[in-house]
Amino acid sequence: MSDRIPVAVLAATGSVGQRFIQLLDGHPMFEVVALTASDRSVGLLFSQACHWIISSDMPEWARNMIVKPTEPSSAAVPLVFSALPADAAKEVEPAFAQAGSMVCSNASTYRMEPDVSILFPEVNPEQAHIIPIQRRLRGWSGGIITNSNCTSTGLTVALKPLYDAFGIKKVFAVSMQALSGAGYPGVPSLDIIDNVVPYIKGEEEKVEIEPRKMLGRVEGDAIVNADFAVSAHTNRVPVVDGHTVVFSVELGQKTSLEQVMDALRSYQAPEVSRDLPSAPKPVIVLRDEADRPQPRLDRMTGRGMATVVGRVRPDSIYDYKMVTLSHNTIRGAAGGSVYNAELLVKLGYVK
Ligand SMILES: NC(=O)c1ccc[n+]([C@@H]2O[C@H](COP(=O)([O-])OP(=O)(O)OC[C@H]3O[C@@H](n4cnc5c(N)ncnc54)[C@H](OP(=O)(O)O)[C@@H]3O)[C@@H](O)[C@H]2O)c1
């Protein structure tokens, strides 16, 4: 018998759900025992229900699984990975948490609740300790932890060393977001080929608040946001995978370019997160070419888990400006959730 932890993937047929299946194939700690989706897919073989859009083949074990309804009775497991849309997550994720599962969610539904962490092993593993508080407040034996919005991901990793070393006063960020971030089938081809769409519903609000929560800390029964301001513009561009964010930052103290580069280059994940199977090593890959990072060339850096930063230079209004790139369905979604789950196992919150 396998000694891996049995897990379920909720909304396994979508863009993020498929990434979960790819990343959990042969995972040393987790074994997928149930796949769920909407009523459209329930009862079908996964291979019939899922329009597979990932370049590696659909794993054999997944092909032959029957898609189950998205409810706790389908999967009494200690850990579930959720790729549910936000509206579907509202009822379903608490039901799993109540039934004793730890839910690692990609949905935005519970991200901003004060007792729910946007967990990020390279950045804020200490926020996992909100889980016993959440269990006490909500009467759950399981729990919910979330991933950030995929655009906040690379931005937050790049801000973390700067925040720790120098403090941050304000950030001005502009995103260029990949199509896979809109799920499948996502943005119609006639809207995006030869085009840039300067609006993504709800996205700017998320990017303006989530990095502050991720860099915040647990105080009493709640997570308190870090105290700096973010202004964001978000855009959809004709790139398949990989979100680019260009940003300018005003730091809390006078700092040389060399100090900024050193802080980025030498950043290490907190000790507890460093040796987990999904840990990116290094966390930040700092490129010094004038024209990098680029999504097509750099999104798979560190198996899609690293954050690539480049073009670090002085800013004429703020202090410094730079470019950050991260893979939206890997680091910004399924890979981030799997890394979170590895951390929760290590900390004893999933048994
Ligand atoms: N794509 C990204 O880069 C990214 C990054 C971070 C976070 N997210 C978040 O991750 C979640 C999934 O995004 P996605 O891009 O994978 O979307 P997607 O490609 O549109 O897939 C949606 C999935 O949800 C299932 N579903 C829809 N309604 C459902 C219901 N009522 N009950 C159960 N399952 C239901 C669908 O199943 P059927 O196939 O049966 O319809 C499908 O598996 C969203 O909350 C999104 O905001 C996405």
What's the mean pLDDT in 297-310?
A: 98
- Cα separation, 124 vs 117, whole angstroms: 9
Query: Which one of 3.30.70.20, 3.40.50.720, 3.40.50.300, 1.10.1240.10 gives the CATH number of domain 5-148+334-346?
Result: 3.40.50.720
Residue by residue, DSSP assigns 287-318 as --STT---HHHHTTGGGGTSEEEEEEEE-SSS
Instruction: State the DSSP H helix or E strand holding residue 215, giving kind and residue range, or none if neither.
Output: none
What is the pLDDT confidence band of residue 164, given thresholds at 50, 70 and 90? very high
Please measure the distance between the N-terminal and C-terminal CA atoms of the chain and give it in whole angstroms: 17
Q: Which atom of ligand 1 is nearest to the CA of 329?
A: 3
With a 6 Å cutoff on the Cβ, whether 318 touches ligand 1 is: no
Domain ranges of the chain: 5-148+334-346, 151-327
* Cα angle value 80/81/83 (rounded, 5°): 135
* pLDDT of 250 higher than 60: yes
Residue minimizing CA distance to atom 11 of ligand 1: 83
Of 35, 13, 340, the closest CA to residue 183 belongs to 13
What's the mean pLDDT in 17-42?
A: 97
With a 6 Å cutoff on the Cβ, whether 105 touches ligand 1 is: no
- Cα separation, 161 vs 249, whole angstroms: 13
Note whether 103 and 145 are within 8 A (CB): yes
Q: What is the pLDDT of residue 351?
A: 84
Note whether 343 and 270 are within 8 A (CB): no
Residues carrying an active site annotation = 150, 243
* Cα angle value 85/122/280 (rounded, 5°): 90
Q: What is the pLDDT of residue 100?
A: 97
Q: What is the pLDDT of residues 23-32, one digit of tens each?
A: 999 999 999 9
With a 6 Å cutoff on the Cβ, whether 38 touches ligand 1 is: yes
Q: What is the pLDDT of residue 142?
A: 98
Taking the centre of ligand 1 as the mean of its atom positions, its distance from the CA of residue 317, in whole angstroms, is 39
Length, in residues, of the chain:
351
What is the pLDDT confidence band of residue 2, given thresholds at 50, 70 and 90? confident
Of 223, 197, 220, the closest CA to residue 210 belongs to 223
Token pair, residue 6, equals 């049995």
Name residues whose C-beta falls within 8 Å of residue 7's C-beta, 6 or more positions apart in sequence. 24, 30, 31, 32, 33, 77, 78, 79, 80, 81, 341
CATH topology of domain 151-327: Dihydrodipicolinate Reductase; domain 2 (3.30.360)
* pLDDT of 241 higher than 70: yes
* pLDDT of 1 higher than 70: no
- Cα separation, 153 vs 202, whole angstroms: 16
What's the mean pLDDT in 261-279?
A: 98
Residue minimizing CA distance to atom 4 of ligand 1: 181
What's the mean pLDDT in 67-92?
A: 97
With a 6 Å cutoff on the Cβ, whether 41 touches ligand 1 is: yes
pTM given for the model: 0.97
What's the mean pLDDT in 170-190?
A: 96
Note whether 323 and 311 are within 8 A (CB): yes
